[in-house]
Chain A
C-alpha cells in the first residue's frame, strides 16, 4: 500500500502491553484518515456506554495520507475519544511536526486503551514503545512539557502531544497540544488526564512512500505556488482575526455572553489593531506554505510577556464575549489557556456564563474568593482581570474554577439544582460543547448546521455559515433549501477534515473553493499518493462516510432527535440591536429545518440511519449494530 503503512498501533496503559493491527486496503478507502478514521477506531475500540473519563474510553489518533509528503497543508491528524463534555464523539484535528513524526515512525493510527496507575508518557521510537515515568513533568505547561521531554530524550527531533495542568486535573475543557497547535475542542485533555497520560512522544526515522512521486511533486508545487497568491492573502495578512470587524458589522459578533451581536469596542480587539500593536511574527504549521498564525506579544502593563498565537475563535470568546476591550488581557487569557492546555473557546464561553450569572445577582463576590483575591472579586462584563483570573482558576480547579472546569452545561445544571435558578437559559452550548464565534440568530442555515453537528456547537465541522454570509440564501429566514445546504456543507468540511487538509487551501486548486473546483484536484492528489483511482464522486463520498460514522457512534451512545438543539437564548431572546436585531431561531423553524436535513441525509424522521443507507456506504457492520 502506498501512502499508508497499513498498521495501527494499540497501546494498553493498564497492562502495559502493545500490539499491532493490520487493516485491509478497503478499510482505508472508506475511512481514509483524520477525523473519519479516528472516529472509526473509536467505534471499534470503545466500551459502549462508558464514562468518558473511564479506562473504557480509548484515545484514537489517525494520521492522514498526505502527512510527510510534499502535499501542502497535509500535515494534520485526527484525534477522537468519547467527549467528556458531550458524551458523544469528540473528534478534533491538530497539525504540524507531531503528525509527520508519527507517519515516519510507520503508524497510520494509534489506539490507547485502559488507564495507568502512575503518571506516564509513552515514547514511540519507530516501532519500539516505551512507557516512561512522567512524575517530573507534572504541573508543567504544554510547551514546557514538550521541551522537557526533548531534553530528557536528548533528541530535538522528538515530537510530543501533551496535556497541561488542566488535563491533569480533569478539567473538561482541557485540550491536547503539539508543536503549539491544539486539538482543542471537546475535552481531550481530560480523557488523557483520566488515563494518567501526560504525553505521547514520537520519533520517526523512516521515509514515506507514495505511488507516483513525480506527479505528486508537480501537483504539490502548483498548489504551493497558488497558495502564495490572492487566494490566501486574507489568512496570511490578518489571519482569522479579520473576522472581528466583519462579524461585528454584520451584527453577529458574540458579545457579553451572546446578549448582543455588536461590540462597541470591536476596533480595539480587531485583527487590524492586533497587527499594528501586538503582532510579532506570523508562523506556519509544518508542511504549510500559507502561514496564518499571528504570534502576538504583550509588551507593557500587568500582562507584559504574555505571548501566543491569536486566532479569531479564542479571541471572541475571551474578548467581546466577556465584554473585554483590552487585547493585552485577551492575549494573556489565551496564553494561560494554551500553556495550561485548555480550549480557550469553551473556557471563555463558560466564563461569560459565570459573568452573566454574577450580573444577575445569582453569584456574588463571595463566590469568587481565591488565593489571589481572598475577599473575592466582581466579574462584571468588561472586567479583564476577572477573566484572566478565572482562566487560571479553571486551569487549577481553584474555588469556583472547580465548578467552571465542568463546562457551561454541567456548571449551570449544578447551580440550578442547588439554587433553584434557571441559569441554563444563558449557558451557551450545544450537546455540551460551547458555541463558536458567530451568533446564529443572524445566520439561520448555520444554526441548523450547528444544531445537528455530531460534536456539538462547532464551526469547523459545518461550513453552513458560507451560504448565509455569501448571500446565497437570506440569512435571516428559513426555507426548503436549508436541509440540503446543511448536508452539503458539513460533508464538504468533512472531506478536508478526513484527508486531512487544512481548509485554508481550498481556493488554491483552481481558484474556486466549491466541489467542482477542488474535488478533481484532490482526486489527483489521492491517486498520486496511493495509486487508487478516485474520482469526483469518490472524493465526495469521503465526507458523507465521515459524518455517518460519527453519527453512528452517537446513535449507539444514545443520541435522540432532541439532542439536536440550540441554546435557549438563540431560540427565545431576539437580538437587541444592529443588523441582526429582532431575530431568533424559533422552535418551529428549527424543527422544520431538522426535518429537511434528516430527509436530505436519507435518514428517518427521528434522525436514525436506515440499514440500506449504511450498506450502500460500505458500512455493513455498522448497519448491523445501529441501522433501522
Chain B
C-alpha cells in the first residue's frame, strides 16, 4: 500500500497544528484520495484550504510533489514515498 507524506504550510499548518502527516493510500489511490483523507482527518481544513465537499483544493492552494512538480490533475496517482507539499505562494509585500 503506497504511503505519502503531506507537508503543511501556512493556514494548513495553523489549522492542523502539525507540520506533516503520513497518509496510507489504497493500491491505485489518487491525489484526490489524499484530499479526501485530509478532509476526513482535519475537517477544519474544509473551507479555507479544501473546498466544501472535500474533493478539491481551494484555490490558490496546490499540491507540489517533492518540490519538483505541481499536480494539475487530482485523479493521477502519487508514487509511494512522495512528499506532497500543500502550499500556496504569494508575491508582493
Contacts and interface: CB of A to CB of B under 8 A. Distances in A.
Interface of A: 230-231, 233-235, 237-243, 245-247, 249-251, 271-272, 275, 292, 311-314, 459-460, 463, 465-466, 469-471, 503-504, 507, 511-513, 578-579
B43 to A, nearest CB: 15
A461 B14 CA distance: 31
B59 A463 contact: no
Contact of B11 (A233, A512, A513): A233
The B interface is mostly helix, strand or loop, or mixed, namely loop
A469 B89 contact: yes
A249 B66 CA distance: 9
Given A238-B10, A246-B88, 6 more contacts: A234-B11, A240-B93, A251-B67, A272-B9, A313-B93, A471-B69
Nearest to A245: B9
A250 B9 CA distance: 12
Contact of A272 (B10, B68, B92): B10
Contact of B92 (A251, A503, A579): A503
A144 to B, nearest CB: 24
B10 A246 contact: yes
B92 A460 contact: yes
Interface in B26-75: 47-48, 58-60, 62, 64, 66-72
A514 B57 CA distance: 18
Contacts of A242: 9-11, 88, 90
A423 B93 CA distance: 29
A469 B58 CA distance: 17
Given A272-B13, A507-B59, A471 B93 contact: no
B93 A579 contact: no
Given A237-B14, A238-B11, A242-B10, A470 B70 contact: yes
B5 interface: no
Given A230-B58, A234-B88, A249-B85, A239 B72 contact: no
A39 B72 CA distance: 39
Contact of A459 (B60, B72, B87, B91): B91
A455 to B, nearest CB: 15
Given A272-B10, A507-B59, A243 B89 contact: yes
Interface residues of B, number: 28
Instruction: Enumerate the 5 nearest inter-chain pairs by beta-carbon distance, A residue then B residue, closest first.
Output: A471-B70, A311-B93, A240-B93, A579-B67, A242-B10
Nearest to A446: B91
Contacts of B11: 233-234, 237-238, 242
A239 B10 contact: no
B93 A239 contact: yes
B17 to A, nearest CB: 11
B7 interface: yes
Contacts of A251: 67
A504 B90 CA distance: 9
A230 B44 CA distance: 13
Q: Which secondary structure dominates where chain A touches chain B? A: helix
A234 B67 contact: no
19 contacts: A234-B11, A234-B60, A234-B88, A237-B11, A238-B10, A239-B93, A241-B93, A242-B10, A242-B11, A242-B88, A243-B90, A246-B9, A250-B64, A463-B91, A471-B69, A503-B92, A507-B59, A507-B60, A579-B68
B89 A247 contact: yes
Contacts of A459: 91-92
Contacts of B93: 239-241, 292, 311-314
A230 B10 contact: no
A251 B66 CA distance: 11
B54 to A, nearest CB: 14
A272 B88 CA distance: 14
A468 to B, nearest CB: 10
A246 B67 CA distance: 9
Contacts of B88: 234, 242, 246
A434 to B, nearest CB: 15
B67 A511 contact: no
Contacts of B71: 471
A147 B69 CA distance: 50
A271 B72 contact: no
Contacts of A503: 91-92
Nearest to B67: A579
A245 B59 CA distance: 19
Contacts of A471: 62, 64, 69-72
Given A239-B93, A242-B88, A504-B92, A579 B66 contact: yes
Contacts of A240: 90-93
Contacts of B72: 471
Contacts of A314: 93
A234 B60 CA distance: 9
Contacts of A292: 93
B9 A460 contact: no
B91 A246 contact: no
A233 B48 contact: yes
Interface in B1-20: 7, 9-11, 13-14
